[in-house]
Structure 1
């Protein structure tokens, strides 16, 4: 019977990330055929993935990345089942590599079919499911373009955000990171009032109107009160109108203008673990 040598086991382990004993068993079963051993490990991963398909993968790592000229960015969450796996160095490294690939992928589906060292990303996730023994999948997928982008990843890789600014000016890097911290912390629903959906506006107006009626406010003044209520809603929930977390005396829009009078926030993306 074939007896695997240490260098072959190490090579297979480095290639697949599988445990030493699993690599030994695969090489024995493949009678020393390296490619066949890889295939055996992948099939094991498929079996594990099938068994854990209905599991919840609510832990993981959320990673934001931008390209070298700061004009394209992406955020992905690589999800798993436990916090123990989420903190594993190899798992976080994989999440970072996938986030880099996501920058040039048009969609999550395109990312899953992209080449990952000779196999697709989807196949890599199945392989790692077998290695780790937990369900692993890409959860969030966000892409953004802009004149200048800056990213922020909250400690522990649970939340990440990217902000787009209107120009690459002096101080843009600091501003984009600071506003991304704002996005991560305050979770705005839109950039400004023009980007809030009509459905959200109608729902908020309905809630506030019912409260005012219950308070006994006269019908003829309710509409005026609602205008003020919505202004407050936009201030609390839209990014550029929110109070800046590093200096509550100014709005986010005012902070950005303090960096450069012509600078504006043009967009943002945010992802977080559920």
Structure 2
């Protein structure tokens, strides 16, 4: 049957698929819109399967924080190219998905994929996006945080790195909160305090430090004590509250917060494209 340009345009507006794909789908469906939409969705599924082994290391980090700072969500959505990551529709979908995490309080990728937006599961939305865009698209990480203190978000320009920081109480100066979030982004701390550092990492650092000293000819007893000194320097580099504040190296982050009558940091989440930090 003959398919009109008007019908093709209408299907394109409904699905976002290319003009030729819409025309072929309508022809295959004998003009039936519902069948044509299903054909386009199946096409997306097939393309998704074909691209499953491709690398998706571009994308966006997006966040959402409640007005009172008591709840926040963050999400990493990946694609194959920076060109797609900058696409307006891709960015709109990312915002929809992080809003869903926030509103429905989802704390895993699996939960998000099963949740629905506009009548379709997020998993089906991703298949549709693959069909339209032609790239592998996946959601890699989801973060949901709630607090009795205050949560603050920072997104580095380009949306490839994002941070959520939880303070123990209300922060009265937004600039101070942003400074600390930027510290987390730039300095990649492992934890807020020493207690949060995995014991296996501590043991490994001590072992490396001691072996270096023994190789330098230091006696065992001296090597043991000196290794503890090196461990203190490790903490100063990798523990947030002990790190030198990037804007004033004469202060630690903890000292900076206390000097400005700001609550200490309780936790943080750092999301960077392609990293599990």
User: What interval of TM-score do these two structures reach, taking the shorter chain for normalisation?
Assistant: over 0.9
Determine the structure 1 residue equivalent to 2:136: 135
Distance, in Å, in 1 between the alignment partners of 2:93 and 2:110 is: 18
Distance, in Å, in 1 between the alignment partners of 2:199 and 2:230 is: 16
1:170 aligns with 2:167: no
Determine the structure 1 residue equivalent to 2:180: 179
Q: Is the 8 A contact 1:143 1:269 kept in 2?
A: no
1:269 aligns with 2:269: yes
Using the size of structure 1 for normalisation, the TM-score is 0.93
Q: Is the 8 A contact 2:107 2:143 kept in 1?
A: no
User: What's the offset of the Cα at 1:26?
Assistant: 2.1
Q: Is the 8 A contact 1:164 1:176 kept in 2?
A: no
Q: Is the 8 A contact 2:108 2:141 kept in 1?
A: no
Q: 1:151 aligns with which of 126, 150, 153?
A: 153
153-162 or 175-184, which deviates more: 175-184
Alignment gaps of 5+ in structure 2? none
34-43 or 231-240, which deviates more: 34-43
Determine the structure 1 residue equivalent to 2:111: 110
| CA shift digits 1:145-180 (9 cap, x unpaired) | 222111111111111111011112421x33332211
Alignment gaps of 5+ in structure 1? none
| CA shift digits 1:28-81 (9 cap, x unpaired) | 322333322221111000010111111111111111222232112222111111
User: What's the offset of the Cα at 1:143?
Assistant: 2.5
Determine the structure 2 residue equivalent to 1:192: 193
Using the size of structure 2 for normalisation, the TM-score is 0.92
Distance, in Å, in 2 between the alignment partners of 1:129 and 1:90 is: 12
| CA shift digits 1:209-268 (9 cap, x unpaired) | 11010111121222221221111111100111111222222111222223325x110110
Distance, in Å, in 1 between the alignment partners of 2:243 and 2:13 is: 48
237-246 or 202-211, which deviates more: 237-246
| CA shift digits 1:185-209 (9 cap, x unpaired) | 1111111101001111111111111
Determine the structure 1 residue equivalent to 2:20: 21
Alignment of 1:1-274 (within 5 A): 1-6=1-6, 8-103=7-102, 104-146=105-147, 147-171=149-173, 173-260=174-261, 263-274=263-274
Give the number of equivalent residue pairs.
Answer: 271
Q: Is the 8 A contact 2:194 2:239 kept in 1?
A: yes
User: What's the offset of the Cα at 1:5?
Assistant: 4.2
Distance, in Å, in 1 between the alignment partners of 2:267 and 2:77 is: 23
Distance, in Å, in 2 between the alignment partners of 1:87 and 1:130 is: 18
